[in-house]
Amino acid sequence: MRLTVIGTGYLGAVHAACMADIGHEVLGVDIDAEKIAALSEARVPFFEPGLQEVLGKAVGSGRLHFTTSLEEAAEFGDVHFICVSTPQCRDSPAADLRAVDAVIDGLAPQLRRRCLIVGKSTVPAGTTARLAMRVREQAPEGTDVEVAWNPEFLREGFAVQDTLRPDRLVAGVLSQRADRILREVYAPLVRAGVPYISTDPATAELVKVAANSFLATKISFINAMAEVCDATGADVMSLSEALGYDPRIGRRFLSAGLGFGGGCLPKDIRAFTARADELGVGSAVSFLREIDEINARQRRRTVDIARDMLGGTLAARRIAVLGATFKPDTDDVRDSPALAVAAAIHREGAEVAVHDPEGMDNARAVLPKLDYVPDVDKACLGADLVLHLTEWSDYRRIDPGALAVVTPARKILDARNALDASLWRSAGWTLRALGRPAQP
């Protein structure tokens, strides 16, 4: 089939490459000419494990091309996937849908062939119906075009495997024809056993925000428990292990720490509350505001513990920050808890040296005033305190004895509960963590 993928960021670039990988003819479209130039040369313009291989193979096969022209896209596609950004509005918790609208406004008037427009971006319930009207108003008379929603659940860091072997596919469709087309697009995945759920567009839109709301709730739940652990001397790691053995609860997404961030969870739960308010059911999901607040509190708690470890002030103290991205295995720093903490301690007068395996360029673009050091030892040189803020596996492999040579103060705050506390302590470090006793 001939597919276009409009918006070639973390989601779209992966989707385009993977759709070509399973045999479709694909045209990737973006307004960012630099990104399109890189992708056309089979270069991935961001960090995503495994994408380089799939992209290289797809471009090499001649099945994947890129353009900045929606006119070309309109001529080419049987199916148009919309994968553009839907960030939070600057002045409200609602989703900013201007990019999605711009795609529709650019594409619809140019459509001449029978096609299906399929949204993958995360959007508020009701968006498909609104866009279907917008398409009808602008598409040339007699053009056979329909709109459907097929939300995306991929995780950065695992995006290729999540696209080629997702937990499930959800198709929000208004007709059997749209359903048939989407089943055909994903036929190799469905044949391999991926569950395919066909439903109406509003449900499909809701599945995505409900899933993210549940995940955010799980994280904030265990972080709230960590706060209680701190007050009682209990250990949140043992608590979550014991809870997780209950299959009704499950161990995943039950790790206490600095909380969630990134370009999805925070803005998605806020957009959900905003949309629920509009629909008059705000009170049904008002708990999500508390989830968001618990999450924000973990960033403040981390700064408070850091200050406490340095005797009450951060001013003029040298602090090494390990991790800038919102989670490991990505270079994405959107709403990164690590960067929020780094910025907060810098505001309190600390000298901050940041290390991250992949996210330094993006971090520097957001917080240019911090010091970025491409080597862990150099970042930690003479540090009064080390903050472990993103759980890259590289940091678990640090030898605390060797690091102590350059960091005589030997103080570390593991805000991700990912380091081996006994190993660090036996090397003479004072290690604190969220939700764990200060001493073993």
User: Catalytic annotation on 264?
Assistant: yes
Its sign, for the CA torsion 188, 192, 197, 198, is positive
Residue (89 or 406) nearer to ligand NAD, CB: 89
DSSP state of 88: B
Angle separating helix axes 265-278 and 287-309, nearest 10 degrees: 150
List 4, 5, 10, 294, residue binding ligand NAD (CB under 6 A): 10
Residue (11 or 139) nearer to ligand NAD, CB: 11
Measured between alpha carbons, how far is 170 from 190 in angstroms, rounded to an integer? Answer: 12
List 83, 132, 160, 181, residue binding ligand NAD (CB under 6 A): 83
Residue (264 or 385) nearer to ligand NAD, CB: 264
Spatial contact of 339 and 366, defined as CB atoms under 8 Å apart? yes
- Please identify, among the stretches 96-104, 395-403, 409-417, 422-430, the one whose residues bind ligand NAD according to the rule CB under 6 A: 96-104
- Using DSSP's 3-state secondary structure scheme, residue 412 falls into strand
DSSP string of 352-411, one letter each residue: EEEE-SS-HHHHHHH-TTSEE-SSHHHHHTT-SEEEE-S--HHHHT--HHHHHHH-TT-E
Report residue 63 as tokens: 């099945």
Residue (31 or 381) nearer to ligand NAD, CB: 31
Closest approach of ligand NAD to the CB of residue 23, in Å:
23
Closest approach of ligand NAD to the CB of residue 294, in Å:
22
Query: Half-sphere exposure (CA, 13 Å, Cβ side) for 323?
Result: 28
Residue (326 or 424) nearer to ligand NAD, CB: 326
Residue nearest to ligand NAD (CB): 9
Closest approach of ligand NAD to the CB of residue 87, in Å:
8
Encoded one letter per residue, x for contact with ligand NAD by CB under 6 A and - for no contact, window 115-134 reads ------xx------------
Which 229-288 residues touch ligand NAD, going by CB under 6 A?
263-264
Measured between alpha carbons, how far is 391 from 394 in angstroms, rounded to an integer? Answer: 8
If binding is defined by CB under 6 A, does position 210 make contact with ligand NAD? Answer: no
Report residue 90 as tokens: 């600057």
Q: Residue 157 — φ and ψ, nearest 5°?
A: 95, -25
- Please identify, among the stretches 31-39, 53-61, 215-223, 290-298, the one whose residues bind ligand NAD according to the rule CB under 6 A: 31-39
If binding is defined by CB under 6 A, does position 85 make contact with ligand NAD? Answer: yes
- Using DSSP's 3-state secondary structure scheme, residue 246 falls into coil
Return the number of other C-beta atoms located less than 10 Å from residue 347's C-beta.
Answer: 12
If binding is defined by CB under 6 A, does position 28 make contact with ligand NAD? Answer: no
Active site residues: 264
Q: Interface with ligand NAD by CB under 6 A: which residues?
A: 6-12, 29-32, 35, 83-86, 99, 102-103, 121-122, 152, 154, 156, 263-264
